[in-house]
Structure 1
């Protein structure tokens, strides 16, 4: 008998993957968590019925959350990752030697626990001495931090359940206050095919707070529609003014110095959403 996992990405559309093995299905204190192994994408973390990461395509999302912002900031010493308990963004952040400390705040400790066990390629740097892992509420952490971080990265699930407050204007205002005077933040902001209204709302909210706002995109095949957007808000530094000849070649599979500015060139229908 074949077993298939299906994610309903809208009420009338979804993706499906053939399952080789199911490692974990558990209702945590915050969400439904599953860890499965699929034929096409390998091991996969699923939260509340949504694919969060897979062994095959995880590098795209994690690299694009981390590197555009870190290569835009001239000296990112202190970095905060909100969410991201799988550890993929942290892994990418630590590729930057000038980062002295990376703080991860993940609300669900089970995500960290099972990622370390079943996704060691992704979670392998969570025990690095440059990393502080806090199991707690990222929303509250942000609002208690003032003038503390050079870069803040929001690696959240979609805006449902425990992640819903991470898409509110008050959260972005809190991030602004948690950043130092030349700080940068980046957040995943979903896809323009099914969540155009969300992208517009986030873009409007962030533009009311940050003087420089840029949207960029990447292809993540297991995420709804495959076309995924990220929003960057900056107090001072513009990612489009970075001298890409000064960006070093590092160990990546998706991001590169040549892609840095190219990622901000959006399809016209997406460009129109964020005018």
Structure 2
């Protein structure tokens, strides 16, 4: 018997992956958590039936959400990760010895527990002494912070269910307040390709632009995400993602990567015309 995981990407489009076996399936307090194993993509995590990551391509997402801001900000010491219970962003962050503290806020503790057991390739950094885990609502957590962090990574699920509050103007405003005077926020920005995803992307961009003086969008190719064309938001109080990127300093760190490099960093901000139009259409709307 052939077993397949299928995710709907658009009304007439689905992604299907043949499953060798299901390693975990349970309803937590917040969502359904499933872990599958496949020949093509290795192990993969889904939440409420939506793909979160696969062993085969997770490095693209996690390298791009972490190394882009780290190549720009000259002195990151304290980092807040909101979401990211799979541990991939933390794994990339702990490669920087200058980072003194990483606070991860994940609403669903069960996600971290499951990933520790079944996805050690992403969850391998949780035991680093600089990492502190908080199992609570990220929206409420960040609301209590003021000028605390150099970098905030919003590694959230899609803008519904447990992650819905992490796409509001209030949330982005609180992230601004929680950052130090030269802080950077990077968020997963959805896909611009299918209509429903593009609308969610536009809404997030509109709200971020109103909260930060510098707001840019960059892209990556992630095969198992809807359309494979994925965006990230770069929002900053002071640093520009291209003008302030220090190529020499980042290369001197000697961090081995499989996707990110400084040439790709620059190219990732060169967006297709249709994406530029989607962004410009909402930048000046009240």
Q: Does 1:243 align with 2:252?
A: no
2 CA distance for matches of 1:181 and 1:98?
19
CA contact (8 A) 1:245 1:257 kept: no
After TM superposition, give the deviation of residue 11 of structure 1 in Å.
2.8
Q: Does 1:261 align with 2:266?
A: yes
After TM superposition, give the deviation of residue 243 of structure 1 in Å.
3.2
After TM superposition, give the deviation of residue 118 of structure 1 in Å.
0.7
1 CA distance for matches of 2:211 and 2:137?
22
Map of 1:23 onto structure 2: 23
After TM superposition, give the deviation of residue 138 of structure 1 in Å.
0.7
Q: Does 1:272 align with 2:274?
A: no
After TM superposition, give the deviation of residue 187 of structure 1 in Å.
0.3
1 CA distance for matches of 2:131 and 2:249?
26
2 CA distance for matches of 1:268 and 1:245?
30
SS at match of 1:247: helix
Q: Does 1:139 align with 2:139?
A: yes
Aligned length: 275
Map of 1:232 onto structure 2: 234
After TM superposition, give the deviation of residue 245 of structure 1 in Å.
3.1
Alignment TM-score, normalising by the size of structure 1:
0.98
Gaps of 5+ in 1: none
2 CA distance for matches of 1:89 and 1:272?
30
SS at match of 1:175: helix
1:1-275 to structure 2, matched below 5 A, reads 1-194=1-194, 195-241=197-243, 242-248=245-251, 249-275=254-280
Alignment TM-score, normalising by the size of structure 2:
0.94
After TM superposition, give the deviation of residue 205 of structure 1 in Å.
1.2
SS at match of 1:164: helix
After TM superposition, give the deviation of residue 51 of structure 1 in Å.
0.7
2 CA distance for matches of 1:246 and 1:78?
19
CA contact (8 A) 1:244 1:260 kept: no
Q: Which runs of 4+ in 1 moved over 4 A?
A: none
The Cα offsets for residues 226-267 of structure 1, whole Å up to 9 and x where unpaired, read as: 000000110000011123233224111111122111111111
After TM superposition, give the deviation of residue 190 of structure 1 in Å.
0.6
2 CA distance for matches of 1:12 and 1:61?
25
After TM superposition, give the deviation of residue 219 of structure 1 in Å.
0.5
CA contact (8 A) 1:172 1:209 kept: yes
2 CA distance for matches of 1:138 and 1:202?
17
2 CA distance for matches of 1:217 and 1:209?
21
The Cα offsets for residues 135-155 of structure 1, whole Å up to 9 and x where unpaired, read as: 111111110111100000000
2 CA distance for matches of 1:3 and 1:207?
44
1 CA distance for matches of 2:222 and 2:11?
21
